[in-house]
Amino acid sequence: MGNCMSGPAAQVGSVLIVSTSADKMGDHATGAWSEEITGPYYTFVDAGYKVTVCSVSGGDIPIDAASLGDQFKTENDKRMEAACSAPLKGTPKLADMDPASFDAVFFAGGHGTCVDFPTDVVGDFVTKA
């Protein structure tokens, strides 16, 4: 395994990435699409932003296994794996986050979002932003 620490020392702002907590859509296993989190995550980190990742219910973010298949896995996915996927583990709950504490909020995609993004928890957060 690689080094589980990363990120620049100086930060220019803060970004919240919101992910699904859903690991099923009906009987279909799903979750967040890996690149939908890792791409923005490393784009913001590399630009000097402090990035916080949260999920609708908190805890470890489920990643759609299909998104890590050979034809879909990206360099950002590999980079996250080398970091032990630490930003995606033990995430805080969206309801515990204050949108005013961040310069930007990014909602990451994946089929799991069809389950828990159209909920009161997400709607309440968005109305505060």
Digit-coded pLDDT (tens) for 18-74: 999 999 999 999 999 999 999 999 999 999 999 999 999 999 999 999 999 999 999
Cα angle value 76/100/97 (rounded, 5°): 65
The confidence score (pLDDT) of residue 129 equals 84
Q: What is the pLDDT of residues 94-127, one digit of tens each?
A: 999 999 999 999 999 999 999 999 999 999 999 9
Question: pLDDT category, 11, cuts 50, 70, 90?
Answer: confident
How far is it, in rounded angstroms, from Cα 104 to Cα 42? 15
Question: pLDDT category, 4, cuts 50, 70, 90?
Answer: low
Length of the chain: 129
The confidence score (pLDDT) of residue 71 equals 95
